[in-house]
Amino acid sequence: MSLRVVFAGTPEFSIPCLEACRASGADLVAVYTQPDRPAGRGRKLTPSPVKQAALDANIAVEQPETLKIAQARARLEAYRPDLMIVVAYGLILSRKVLAIPRLGCWNVHASLLPRWRGAAPIQRAILAGDTESGVNLMQMEAGLDTGPVLLERRTPITRDDTGGLLHDRLSALGADVLAEGLRRTLAGETLYAVPQSPEGVMYAHKLEKAEARLDFARPALALERQVRAFDPWPVAEGEIAGENVRIWSAHAIEQSHAGAPGSVIAAQRGGIDIACGEDMLRVTSLQRAGGKRIAAADYLNARPELRSTR
């Protein structure tokens, strides 16, 4: 069968799914993405990663500010899509938009629904200490990530995973699950949609920069998760012996201590141990104001007074 597809996405996460659409044999008739936004020090208008990829592939690009007005919906209708695929697009689709494609709209979502509906499922999963994540291919409906699930892929979350590493793995899994959905649909199969459970619903609220501040009165394991989740953005921040720094990597050390939360217990080449409300946090790479990311050993070269003899 033939399949006319419109793809809607914006950030780097969406690119593998866009490539999966191109490779599927479907007729990719247009790409929708967010309008160009100011970026960089010069605040120059910059195209989204998806727009740049679409232009490189000579695919028509649409960048409406909204799909709520009739003119924008008429433009979408003119493409006569059988299916619209949405991957981190950034616009809410109304019922009128969802009804335009003959087969409706699919969404690739980076969590195991109904857990972590919403904007930041990758980071919220790490912050919560989840041991597993994945991607769902979902049939979209008007609610926020409430639609039935068509296909799923799972992956463990390890203590080495950062927000960036899990992002990249889920992006690739999203392309994999989308490719399967398109292959089966192009073969004439109707995918079975499984309604989401009403139990276990969690919302992944948008990240706020203020959340990256480390409170050393909390348990070290919770702070380790903060550091991992907020790499590469917004990057955890904390104070080490009176200096505010960005903390790029750290891990919890299960060890009791008598130090006040935030005090330096030990500082050696392998890391800087900071007292927490429970256990210690060993900081292994960090960044001073105006500087670049460095190892703890290099930081201690600049602050030799912190070196411990323990």
Which tokens belong to 69? 């007005």
Same domain, 234 and 120: no
pTM above 0.85, yes or no: yes
How do the pLDDT tens digits run along the chain, 310 residues long? 789 999 999 999 999 999 999 999 999 999 999 999 988 888 889 999 999 999 999 999 999 999 999 999 999 999 999 999 999 999 989 999 999 999 999 999 999 999 999 999 999 999 999 999 999 999 999 999 999 999 999 999 999 999 999 999 999 999 999 999 999 999 999 999 999 999 999 999 999 999 999 999 999 999 999 999 999 999 999 999 999 999 999 999 999 999 999 999 999 999 999 999 999 999 999 999 999 999 999 999 999 998 874 5
The stretches of the chain forming alpha helices (DSSP H) are 15-23, 49-56, 70-78, 95-98, 121-127, 163-186, 220-229, 296-302
Same domain, 18 and 61: yes
Same domain, 112 and 217: no
Whole-number Cα distances in Å, 82 to 98, 122, 126, 198: 11, 30, 36, 30
Same domain, 197 and 242: no
Same domain, 231 and 301: yes
Burial 74-95 (b: 16+ CB within 10 A, else e): eebeebebbbbbbbbbebebee
C-alpha to C-alpha distance for 10 and 104, rounded to whole angstroms: 20
Is 300 annotated to bind a ligand? Reply is no
Residue 242's nearest CA partner among 210, 289, 208 is: 289
Which tokens belong to 205? 């609220």
Burial 176-206 (b: 16+ CB within 10 A, else e): bbbbbbbeebeeeeebeeeebeeeeebebee
Same domain, 154 and 242: no
- In 3-state terms, what secondary structure has residue 179? helix
Same domain, 112 and 18: yes
Same domain, 229 and 179: no
CATH assignment of the domain containing 269: 3.10.25.10
Is 35 annotated to bind a ligand? Reply is no
Last residue of a domain, one of 204, 229, 251: 204
CA 179 to chain centre: 20
Same domain, 197 and 217: no
Is 111 annotated to bind a ligand? Reply is yes
Give residue 84's domain range. Answer: 4-204
Last residue of a domain, one of 182, 204, 226: 204
Is 148 annotated to bind a ligand? Reply is no
CB of 77 within 8 A of CB of 164?
no
- The number of residues in the chain equals 310
Last residue of a domain, one of 173, 204, 235: 204
**Structural domains of the chain, count:** 2
Same domain, 294 and 162: no
CB of 216 within 8 A of CB of 281?
yes
CATH assignment of the domain containing 56: 3.40.50.170
Same domain, 36 and 171: yes
CA angle 176/134/81 to nearest 5° reads: 50
Same domain, 150 and 185: yes
Residue 15's nearest CA partner among 142, 149, 130, 170 is: 170
- 38 prior amide bond cis, ω within 30: no
